[in-house]
Structure 1
Amino acid sequence: MHRAYFQTSHGQIHARVAGEAGPNIVLLHESPLSSFVYDDVLPLLAPWSRALAPDTLGYGMSDAPPRRLDIPGYAEPVVELLRTLDGPAVVVGSHTGASIAIEAAHQAPELVSGLVLLGIATYTPEQQRDRRQNWAPDEPVTEEATHLLSAWQRYQGLWRGCDLQTRQRAVWTMLGSLDRYHWAYNSAFEYDPLTPLSQLTCPVLCVAADGEFLEEGTRRAAEQLGLPYEVVPDCIGQIPVRQPKVCAELIERFVDGL
C-alpha cells in the first residue's frame, strides 16, 4: 500500500492506494475520520484489484474547503478522482461515505459500475433535527482539555469493543479536524439519499452491521427500492474496522457478480 495525492478543483485529495491491476475500487470512509478505516481491507483487495481509499475533503490529509459543503459538494472531488482512473469503478461507501458514493454515482453514472453501501443514513424529519442538534456539537479547544475528553468518550461509546490503539487512532483523527469535524456529519443529516439512489441504474448492494444504528434504515431503504441487502452478524458497526475480511469478501463477491 502506498499514498497518493489527486489534484481537484477543490484542492488536493489524499488517498491510500493498493493493488496495480484489475477492477477499480474506490472506498469512502465514515465521518469524521479518514481512509485509515480501510487499512486492513486494502491489502485484501490488492491481489485482484486497484483499490483507492481517499480522505473526504476536509478530513484526514485532504485539503479543507473554506466552508461546509453539502453532500453534492463533497462528491465533486470524488467524481474528479474517478475521472483520473482507467475506466469505471465500484464505489464503496460507509455511512457519510455511502451518501457521498450515491451522489457521485448520481453526478457521473458513467464513472460508476456499482455501489456497495455500508450503512445508509436515512432519517425522518424528527431524527434529522435531533441529529443536527445533538449528534455533533461544537467542540471548542479549552485550557481544561474538555475537547480531548469529549472525543475520547465519543469513541469509547461508538467504537466500544475495539482495541485501545484503534480507538486512540479514531480519536486523534477526529481531533485533527476538530474545528470542522461536524461539517460532513451535518451535511449527511440534511441529505436525502433515497431519491438519487432510486434513479441509479448501476448495481447496488446495501449492507449493515446487525448492531449498528443505521441497520434498520438501511434495511428499509433496500426493501423500498428493491435492492439486495446483506447483514453482517456479530458486528455492532464499523464493518471495515471490525470485520475487514468479511468486508473484502463481500466487495469481491459483488464485483464478481457484475
Structure 2
Amino acid sequence: MSLDASLVLVDGPWEHRFVAANGARFHVAEQGEGPLVLLLHGFPQFWWAWRHQLSALAEAGYRACALDLRGYGASDKPPRGYDTRTSATDVASVLRSLGGSRAAVVGHGWGGWIAWAMPTLQPTVTRAVASVSMPHPLVFRKASLTQPAQLKASGYLAGLQRPFVPERQMTVNGGYVQRLLREWASPEGIWPSPQEARLYAEAMALPFVAHSAAEYYRWVVRSQLRPDGWRFAASMRTPITVPVLQLHGAHDPVVLPRTALQPVEAVRGRFERRLVPDAGHFLPEEAPDVVTAHLLDWLAGLPD
C-alpha cells in the first residue's frame, strides 16, 4: 500500500491550512485566536508532535500554529533548501503568509535549532523564542566536538552523512524511526505508544521525507568546513535580546543535560531555563502538561 501526505492531516480541533511561502507550499495546523505562537517540530516527527500544546495554547487565548518544516509531513519536499538560513526564511515567510507581523517561535529538537536562529536571521518577525531539547547551536556544536560524552551521544549524525543508506533505513518497515523514538525517550516513561510510533514511522516513509530529514543533518555537519557554515556560526554570535525560554529533559540521552546547561554567551536579554525531570528528548509528548505550563507562564510574561 502506497502512502500519501493525507495521513499526516490528523483530525482534531485544529484546522489544516496550506500557505505559500519562500517559493514553496507549507502545511500548518492552526487553532485558536490571539497572539501568534508558531510551533516547529523536530526529527523524526511532524507537526503532530505539538498536538497537546496546540489545544492548550488555543484555550489560553493564543493563535497556535504547528508547522510541517520543509521536506516533512504535508509541506513541499524540494531537493534543496535544508540549511538553517533557508529554514529561518521559511519560518518568517510562513508567518507573513499567516498574516502575522511578529510571533513567539517555539521549536523542539531541530525546530529548536531553527528557533535559536530566528532572532539573528529574521529579527523583524521574532517576538521571542523557546527552544525545547536543543541548546544554542554554538553550544551544541562545541560540546559535540569537545565533550566525549556528547560526541558519543551525537553518533547518529555520522550515520546520517552516508548517501542513500539513511533513506533506506528510515523507510523500510519503520524500524529505524520506532527504535529511535524509544531510545531517545526516557526509559522511565511510557511514551511512545505503538500507535504513535507507527504514525511517525509512516510519516517518515512518505516520498522524499527521509531524504529531506537527512539533508538537514548533512548540512549542519558538512557546512562546518564551508564558507556558508562559517557565516552561520559568525551570525549566531550576534547578541539575542528577545526573551528566551529553554526546556530540557533530565533524561535526554541524545542532547545531554550537561550540554544543555552550558553558558550561552549570545543571550543578553531575559533568559529562563528549566530542566524537566523524568523526561527524555521528546518533551512535548513525554511531559505535555509540564511543557504546556512552562510555555503558558513564559508567554504570559512577554512584553507587548
TM-score normalised to the size of structure 1? 0.87
Alignment of 1:150 with 2:163, yes or no, is no
- State the shift of 1:187 in Å: 3.4
The 3 A distance-change label for structure 1 pair 224 and 210 is farther
> Which of 189, 210, 214 is 1:182 aligned to?
214
- Mapped partners of 2:233, 2:301: distance in 1: 24
Moved more, 104-113 or 23-32: 104-113
- Mapped partners of 2:244, 2:45: distance in 1: 24
- Mapped partners of 1:243, 1:64: distance in 2: 30
Moved more, 206-215 or 120-129: 120-129
The residue type paired with residue 145 of structure 2 is P
- Mapped partners of 1:200, 1:78: distance in 2: 18
- State the shift of 1:52 in Å: 0.6
- Mapped partners of 1:140, 1:249: distance in 2: 37
Task: Give the alignment of 1:18-37 within 5 angstroms.
Answer: 18-20=31-33, 22-37=34-49
Moved more, 58-67 or 76-85: 76-85
Alpha carbons 1:89, 1:112 under 8 Å: kept? yes
The 3 A distance-change label for structure 1 pair 136 and 235 is farther
| Residues paired across the two proteins, number | 255
| Ranges in structure 2 where 5+ consecutive residues have no aligned partner | 1-13, 224-228
- Two-structure CA RMSD over aligned residues (Å): 2.7
- State the shift of 1:106 in Å: 1.6
Alignment of 1:254 with 2:278, yes or no, is no
Moved more, 189-198 or 178-187: 189-198
Alpha carbons 1:32, 1:59 under 8 Å: kept? no
**Map of 2:284 onto structure 1:** 240
Alpha carbons 2:250, 2:277 under 8 Å: kept? yes
Alpha carbons 1:194, 1:221 under 8 Å: kept? no
> Which of 87, 102, 111 is 2:116 aligned to?
102
| Ranges in structure 1 where 5+ consecutive residues have no aligned partner | none
User: Which whole-Å deviations, capped at 9, do the CAs of 1:109-147 have from their partners, x for residues lacking one?
Assistant: 1211111111225133363994532356533549xx856
- State the shift of 1:14 in Å: 0.4
Alpha carbons 1:139, 1:147 under 8 Å: kept? no
- Mapped partners of 1:100, 1:77: distance in 2: 10
- Mapped partners of 1:152, 1:30: distance in 2: 15
The 3 A distance-change label for structure 1 pair 141 and 99 is closer
- State the shift of 1:224 in Å: 7.7
**Map of 2:240 onto structure 1:** 200
User: Which whole-Å deviations, capped at 9, do the CAs of 1:46-91 have from their partners, x for residues lacking one?
Assistant: 0210011111000111001222521111221111112233331111
**Map of 2:272 onto structure 1:** 228
